[in-house]
């Protein structure tokens, strides 16, 4: 398997997973999703924006439209920020504000781990380190 082609795809799939998990409460919940997302220390919707940017960065690196080494590094940094922000939110959010699957707040950072892992694999496949 070609890691240079597959690794950024793992990061992109992780970003799409984060976005899908962020959309899930709007589809499945009865209640104030805005209150659920704003009850933590930081809104996880910021990570959705970072995930969209990371998709563009990793896809550009995968298709050689930008420097692949730069794309791998930027994907790694964005991925670490996404995971850190989602963990901070998951530890501080109030789950009693919405009727939703109680483990949703932990699924978000778990899915987000794919982003830095894919970017790290991409950097390794490019022989950056």
Distance CA 32, CA 18 (A): 20
In total, how many domains does the chain have? 1
State in Å, rounded, how far the first CA of the chain is from the last one. 19
Chain-centre distance for alpha carbon 125: 21
- Is 99 strand, coil or helix? strand
**Which pTM does this prediction carry?**
0.94
Residue ranges for the chain with pLDDT beneath 70: 1
Note down the domain range covering 19.
Answer: 3-125
Q: What is the pLDDT of residues 42-73, one digit of tens each?
A: 999 999 999 999 999 999 999 999 999 999 99
């Amino acid at each position: 398997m070609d890691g240079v082609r597959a690794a950024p795809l793992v990061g992109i799939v992780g970003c799409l997973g984060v976005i899908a998990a962020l959309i899930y409460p709007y589809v499945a919940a009865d209640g104030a999703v805005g209150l659920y997302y704003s009850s933590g220390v930081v809104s996880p919707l910021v990570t959705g924006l970072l995930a969209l940017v990371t998709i563009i960065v990793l896809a550009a690196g995968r298709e050689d439209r930008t420097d692949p080494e730069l794309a791998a590094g930027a994907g790694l940094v964005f991925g670490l920020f996404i995971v850190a922000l989602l963990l901070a939110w998951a530890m501080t959010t109030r789950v009693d504000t919405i009727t939703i699957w109680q483990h949703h707040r932990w699924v978000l950072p778990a899915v987000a781990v794919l982003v830095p892992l894919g970017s790290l694999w991409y950097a390794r496949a490019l022989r950056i380190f």
